[in-house]
Amino acid sequence: MDTSRQNTASQILDKLTNDILQGVYLPNDKLQIKALKDRYNVGTSPLREALSQLIAKDLVVSENQRGFYVSDISINDLTDIYQARAKIEGLCLEIAIQQGDDFWESNIIAASHRLAKYTKSENIDMDEWQNRHFSFHDALVSGCNSPRLFQIRQSLYEKSTRYRNLWLKENVTNSENLQINQNEHVALMVLALERDTKAAQKLIEAHIMTPVEIIKKSLSY
Amino acid sequence: MDTSRQNTASQILDKLTNDILQGVYLPNDKLQIKALKDRYNVGTSPLREALSQLIAKDLVVSENQRGFYVSDISINDLTDIYQARAKIEGLCLEIAIQQGDDFWESNIIAASHRLAKYTKSENIDMDEWQNRHFSFHDALVSGCNSPRLFQIRQSLYEKSTRYRNLWLKENVTNSENLQINQNEHVALMVLALERDTKAAQKLIEAHIMTPVEIIKKSLSY
DNA sequence: TCTATTTAAAATGTCGACATTTTTGAATTA
DNA sequence: TAATTCAAAAATGTCGACATTTTAAATAGA
């Protein structure tokens, strides 16, 4: 029965996180204890422990005696998160460019190749494209060896996921946007390899901020 | 009996956080459920919920069926946290200098005055000095109106607390260091008011990194 | 009809109990 | 003596029960 080395609380945390990020539960949805217990087949304790961690991650809010709710989203929050992400990504990239070695360079070239090849292909599976896209950006900053900055970067990326999914729905078929996006990727690689810190930082910040205006429209329908 | 509007889990979270940061529990200490239940007079559930949040905050680690432990500290972690803090503080200050208005300026001047006055006084109470020091740095970055960046800043500050307390023990009596420190504060104020972003950023990063070498010595005894 | 008040139903947060796993330490063996 | 085995003790993680609070529904009053 117990297929994993993890405890129930951790397992339920993963599932809940995923379900919130993927929109199974929408912003402001009530997360009713009993309903969740039934859905995931768990008892009160591990469920509430998972919810406690989600509070610390800002994906859930709670009020005493009034239960748990999925965190709200808003245009203000969208802008703030993306701006913070852009700045942090710029910071990581700056350090990566300062510290990156030959392997860092070659990993960028490799990841860029995989992304470019797939972007040009006929039938694009969005999950696969996302993987390659993610890997490319990971490769760019991987020269920065700061666990804490990476943790912050990862945490902001997670917080942006619900907004990003709105963007993906709008742009999954838009090949023109995809091409603009791809040109930026190539430019980022070149700037990184040239160790042009300032220009690379400026571009990555703009690159990350690109979806914001589109998402804003989705949010205000 | 119930003196507050908070639930037990939140209250216990505050107490535990404080006790870990203040060294009541030392790095790697086992946090035994039963002992904590007795100490804080609470049941299993709220205690474990509090511990779950502490895990998300990196102050506690856990291993399935082996319980909870206070997070370790190390020279690597110390360096990483302080470097990340320095960068984030620089980022916040950069934005504050871009966006700060007259009130921002006047708040810096006021906080600087309160800190300077107290630093010059005869019998310095370290708690009060810390309050004024904290307020000054808060005033500097308060022009940056990004909730997320502030949250990151706050979180890193908290993570650095256990290290900072080592520094405070070493330097509580060292008036020479306090004077060097104070000169930097004045310089920071001047640069901020002059809107000299680059210089201010450079100085704040150095200012934050100053204690690191001293703390390293404390850590390796 | 609309607002207040009362009552019933539902949900939350906390507790102690218990099955399972880990740790301890004594007994046994080499 | 040192290492291994085994049994007892202790600790962890999960569960359902329950008191308290909130919400919803029903009733009464204006």
On strand C, nucleotides with any atom < 7 Å from a protein CB are 11-17, 21-23
Kindly report the nearest CA distance between residue A19 and chain B, in angstroms. Answer: 19
Asked if strand D contacts B76 at the CB level, meaning under 7 A, the answer is no
* Sign, Cα dihedral of B22, B25, B31, B33: negative
Nearest by Cα to A58 from B145, B53, B11, B10: B53
Q: Which nucleotide is nearest to B37 (CA to C1')?
A: C15
> Residue by residue, what is the 3-state secondary structure of chain B?
CCCCCCCHHHHHHHHHHHHHHCCCCCCCCEECHHHHHHHHCCCHHHHHHHHHHHHHCCCEEEECCCEEEECCCCHHHHHHHHHHHHHHHHHHHHHHHHHCCHHHHHHHHHHHHHHHHHHHCCCCCHHHHHHHHHHHHHHHHCCCCCHHHHHHHHHHHHHHHHHHHHHHHHHCCCHHHHHHHHHHHHHHHHHHHCCCHHHHHHHHHHHHHHHHHHHHHHHHC
Asked if strand D contacts A96 at the CB level, meaning under 7 A, the answer is no
Q: Which of B7, B57, B159 has the CB atom closest to A56's CB atom?
A: B57
For residues A211 and A215, give the distance between their C-alpha atoms in angstroms, rounded to a whole number.
Answer: 6
pLDDT of residue B166: 83
Contact A80 B148 (CB under 8 A): yes
pLDDT at residue A2 greater than cutoff 80: no
Residue pLDDT tens, chain B, 221 long: 344 578 899 999 999 999 999 999 999 999 999 999 999 999 999 999 999 999 999 999 999 999 999 999 999 999 999 999 999 999 999 999 999 999 999 999 999 999 999 988 888 888 898 899 999 999 999 999 999 999 999 999 999 999 999 887 766 666 677 777 888 999 999 999 999 999 999 999 999 999 999 899 888 87
The A 36-65 residues near strand C by Cβ under 7 Å are 44-45, 48, 62-65
Kindly report the nearest CA distance between residue A134 and chain B, in angstroms. Answer: 22
pLDDT of residue A173: 60
pLDDT in tens, A37-47: 999 999 999 99
pLDDT of residue A142: 96
Residue of A nearest to B43 (CA): A45
Contact B57 A55 (CB under 8 A): no
Asked if strand D contacts A183 at the CB level, meaning under 7 A, the answer is no
pTM of the model: 0.92
The B 31-60 residues near strand C by Cβ under 7 Å are 41-46, 49
Count CB pairs under 8 A between chains A and B. Answer: 69
pLDDT at residue A4 greater than cutoff 60: no
Asked if strand D contacts A34 at the CB level, meaning under 7 A, the answer is no
Asked if strand C contacts B90 at the CB level, meaning under 7 A, the answer is no
pLDDT in tens, A131-161: 999 999 999 999 999 999 999 999 999 999 9
pLDDT of residue A220: 84
pLDDT of residue B177: 72
Asked if strand C contacts A3 at the CB level, meaning under 7 A, the answer is no
Kindly report the nearest CA distance between residue B29 and chain A, in angstroms. Answer: 21
Residues from chain B contacting residue A159 (CB–CB below 8 Å): 148
Q: How many Å from the CA of A70 to C1' of C3?
A: 33
Give SS3 for A31.
strand
| pLDDT confidence band for A178 (50 / 70 / 90) | confident
Asked if strand D contacts B68 at the CB level, meaning under 7 A, the answer is yes
Residues from chain B contacting residue A81 (CB–CB below 8 Å): 148
Asked if strand C contacts B148 at the CB level, meaning under 7 A, the answer is no
Residue of B nearest to A48 (CA): B49
More confident residue, A142 or A121: A142
pLDDT at residue A168 greater than cutoff 70: yes
| pLDDT confidence band for A17 (50 / 70 / 90) | very high
On strand D, nucleotides with any atom < 7 Å from a protein CB are 11-17, 21-23
Best to test chain B binding among A76, A152, A208, A209 (most B CBs inside 10 Å): A152
pLDDT of residue A120: 86
Kindly report the nearest CA distance between residue B44 and chain A, in angstroms. Answer: 9
pLDDT at residue A172 greater than cutoff 80: no
Whether the Cβ atoms of residue A46 and residue A12 lie closer than 8 Å to each other: yes
pLDDT at residue A21 greater than cutoff 50: yes
